[in-house]
């Protein structure tokens, strides 16, 4: 096996592990926040289970937004990636373990739990974003490399959700302990990889200026924001919607979420490779519009069976969009700015997750689930329609920058 192919597999395994550990917590989020001390009598951010769950998820992604750019900039400035991935993975494991011991202490207010969650998010985003950047550094086609990242993300989410649901039924803190163990394994795996970061270093000012001179990066960032917003929406609102509407437990909810994540994972690599051949416009624009209509379909599904089928369709469409969007970042970024460019994409994605939690949770709480599905699915459709002229003007070619990309 060629060293690049071997590293691609290992890096994909690392991305899988980080996402798997994250999704372990989602199906049992309501039970977990209760065990960690969410109490309406003592905490204003835990007045309801929905509120406590929302802020538990928001605190992690708020840390993602703040710290992902720092990890990316440090990596580009120093010309190193692996030591920072190892550091962030081990620190993230320690943070998950600290959360797991909170119930045994019994004296930490829920706000303190949220601070631990912020620390955990600040660390784990470094491992995720820089590992994706290492995939950008590999040869073999941007769509192919981002397809490997995408299939890892999807498989991690697809398997993390159902397994997390089963672990929650055994013990609410079991997903936290499993996540800590996985991140230790991540640190060990990455420590043995060759660091392929471009040799040239840049000052922080030159790095930021270089990214600023590529306004077309806002295109994949916008799609990354909306796509991740839908994922955040399903992680919180979708989970509670399925449980309340169809009377499902954590285990069954995890399986229903897997109906989305399984095709989303398994099709990322072939559809990412397809975007290398046909270009990014059709997968991103057409795929996003159809993806939005699919979300609306989930919201009107009358039964568990039809909801599951709708989730499968949405997963297929998501697999068409995701790797092409990430590959577009690599197409447009200078190789010396990849860490910062991917950090920008992950900032947009993390803000999208926050939007999914906050917008979805607020709309669902105030106006009901039907309007929440309409808002989130409608935004996905709108962004696709708005960007059609931009894609046509850029005339992005397969796997390359448009001649107009930096103008």
pLDDT (tens digit, 9 = 90+) per residue, 276-325? 788 787 888 888 899 999 999 998 999 999 999 999 999 899 888 888 88
Q: What token pair was written down for 345?
A: 């994409």
> Residue 75 and residue 313: Cα distance in Å, rounded?
38
Q: What token pair was written down for 109?
A: 């207010």
In this prediction, residue 396 has a pLDDT band, given cuts at 50, 70 and 90, of very low
Residue by residue, DSSP assigns 147-183 as HHHHHHHHHHHHHHHHHHHHHHHH-TTHHHHHHHHHH
Sequence-distant (≥ 6) Cβ neighbours of residue 2 within 8 angstroms: none
Q: What token pair was written down for 289?
A: 């519009």
In this prediction, residue 406 has a pLDDT band, given cuts at 50, 70 and 90, of very low
- Host H or E run for residue 320: helix 304-332
> Residue 207 and residue 359: Cα distance in Å, rounded?
33
Q: What token pair was written down for 156?
A: 């991690």
- Host H or E run for residue 385: helix 369-394
Task: Please state whether the predicted TM-score (pTM) of the whole model is above 0.85.
Answer: no
User: Average per-residue pLDDT in the chain?
Assistant: 82
Q: Which of 156-165, 245-254, 295-304, 383-392 has the highest mean pLDDT?
A: 295-304
193: left (phi over 0), alpha (psi -120 to 50) or beta: beta
pLDDT of 223 reads: 86
pLDDT of 400 reads: 43
Return the closest-CA partner of residue 93 out of 27, 16, 178, 191. 178
Residues constituting the chain: 407
What φ, ψ does residue 190 adopt, rounded to 5°? Answer: -70, -30
Return the closest-CA partner of residue 314 out of 242, 255, 261. 261
Q: What is the per-residue pLDDT across 166-208, written as a single tens digit (0 to 9) for each?
A: 898 899 999 999 999 999 998 998 888 877 776 555 555 555 5
In this prediction, residue 41 has a pLDDT band, given cuts at 50, 70 and 90, of low
Q: What is the per-residue pLDDT across 96-121, written as a single tens digit (0 to 9) for each?
A: 999 999 888 876 888 888 999 999 99
Return the closest-CA partner of residue 241 out of 106, 107, 374. 374
Sequence-distant (≥ 6) Cβ neighbours of residue 215 within 8 angstroms: none
pLDDT of 202 reads: 52
> Residue 354 and residue 61: Cα distance in Å, rounded?
6
In this prediction, residue 398 has a pLDDT band, given cuts at 50, 70 and 90, of very low
> Residue 304 and residue 10: Cα distance in Å, rounded?
36
Query: When comparing pLDDT for 261 and 207, which is higher?
Result: 261
> Residue 337 and residue 49: Cα distance in Å, rounded?
42
Buried b or exposed e, range 158-188, using 16+ CB within 10 angstroms: bbbbbbbbbbbbeebbbbbbbbbebbbebbe
> Residue 219 and residue 395: Cα distance in Å, rounded?
13
Sequence-distant (≥ 6) Cβ neighbours of residue 393 within 8 angstroms: 404
Q: What is the per-residue pLDDT across 380-395, written as a single tens digit (0 to 9) for each?
A: 899 888 888 777 776 5
No. of helices (H) and no. of strands (E), the chain = 17, 0
CA 274 to chain CA centroid, nearest Å: 22
> Residue 294 and residue 208: Cα distance in Å, rounded?
37
- Three-state DSSP state, 40: coil
In this prediction, residue 91 has a pLDDT band, given cuts at 50, 70 and 90, of very high
Sequence-distant (≥ 6) Cβ neighbours of residue 150 within 8 angstroms: 265, 268, 269, 272, 319, 322, 323, 326
> Residue 182 and residue 185: Cα distance in Å, rounded?
5
- Three-state DSSP state, 192: coil
Tell me, what DSSP letter sits at residue 44? G
pLDDT of 110 reads: 83
CA distances from 407 to 317, 341, 404 (A): 31, 17, 5
Q: Which residue shows structure tokens 């996905």?
A: 380
Sequence-distant (≥ 6) Cβ neighbours of residue 33 within 8 angstroms: 46, 49, 52, 53, 56, 110
In this prediction, residue 85 has a pLDDT band, given cuts at 50, 70 and 90, of very high
Full set of structural domains in the chain with CATH: 3-394 (1.20.1250.20)
> Residue 359 and residue 361: Cα distance in Å, rounded?
6
- 8 Å CB contact between 362 and 228: no
Q: What is the per-residue pLDDT across 2-17, written as a single tens digit (0 to 9) for each?
A: 566 778 888 888 899 9
Alpha helix segments (H runs only) across 79-109: 82-105
Largest CA distance in the chain: 60
């Amino acid at each position: 096996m060629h060293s690049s192919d071997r590293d691609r597999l290992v890096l994909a395994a690392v991305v899988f592990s980080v996402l798997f550990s994250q999704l372990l917590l989602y199906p049992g989020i309501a039970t977990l926040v209760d065990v960690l001390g969410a109490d309406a009598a003592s905490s204003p951010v835990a007045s309801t289970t929905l509120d406590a769950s929302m802020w538990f998820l928001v605190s992690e992604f708020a840390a993602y937004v703040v710290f992902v750019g720092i990890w990316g900039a440090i990596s580009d400035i120093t010309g190193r990636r692996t030591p920072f991935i190892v550091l962030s993975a081990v620190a993230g494991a320690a943070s998950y373990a600290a959360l797991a011991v909170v119930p045994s202490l019994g004296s930490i207010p829920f706000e303190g739990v949220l601070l631990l969650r912020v620390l955990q998010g600040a660390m784990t985003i470094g491992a995720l974003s820089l590992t994706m950047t290492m995939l950008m550094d590999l040869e073999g086609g941007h769509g192919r490399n981002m397809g490997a990242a995408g299939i890892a993300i999807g498989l991690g989410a697809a398997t993390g959700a159902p397994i997390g649901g089963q672990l929650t039924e055994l013990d609410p803190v079991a997903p936290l302990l499993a996540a800590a163990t996985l991140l230790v394994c991540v640190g060990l795996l990455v420590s043995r990889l060759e660091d392929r970061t471009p040799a040239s270093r840049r000052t922080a000012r030159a790095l930021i200026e270089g990214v600023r001179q590529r306004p077309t990066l806002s295109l994949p960032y916008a799609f990354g924001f909306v796509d991740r917003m839908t994922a955040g929406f399903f992680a919180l609102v979708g989970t509670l919607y399925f449980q309340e509407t169809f009377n499902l437990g954590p285990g069954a909810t995890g399986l229903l979420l897997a109906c989305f994540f399984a095709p989303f994972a398994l099709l990322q690599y072939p559809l990412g490779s397809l975007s290398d051949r046909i270009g990014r416009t059709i997968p991103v624009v057409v795929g996003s519009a159809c993806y939005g209509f699919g979300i609306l379909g989930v919201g009107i599904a009358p039964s568990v069976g039809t909801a599951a089928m709708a989730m499968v369709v949405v997963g297929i469409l998501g697999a068409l969009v995701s790797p092409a969007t990430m590959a577009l970042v690599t197409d447009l970024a200078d190789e010396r700015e990849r860490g910062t460019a991917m950090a920008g994409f992950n900032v947009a994605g993390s803000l999208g997750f926050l939007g999914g939690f906050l917008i979805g949770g607020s709309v669902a709480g105030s106006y009901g689930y039907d309007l929440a599905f309409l808002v989130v699915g409608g935004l996905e459709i709108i962004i696709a329609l708005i960007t059609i002229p931009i894609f046509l003007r850029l005339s992005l070619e397969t796997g390359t920058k448009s001649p107009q990309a930096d103008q």
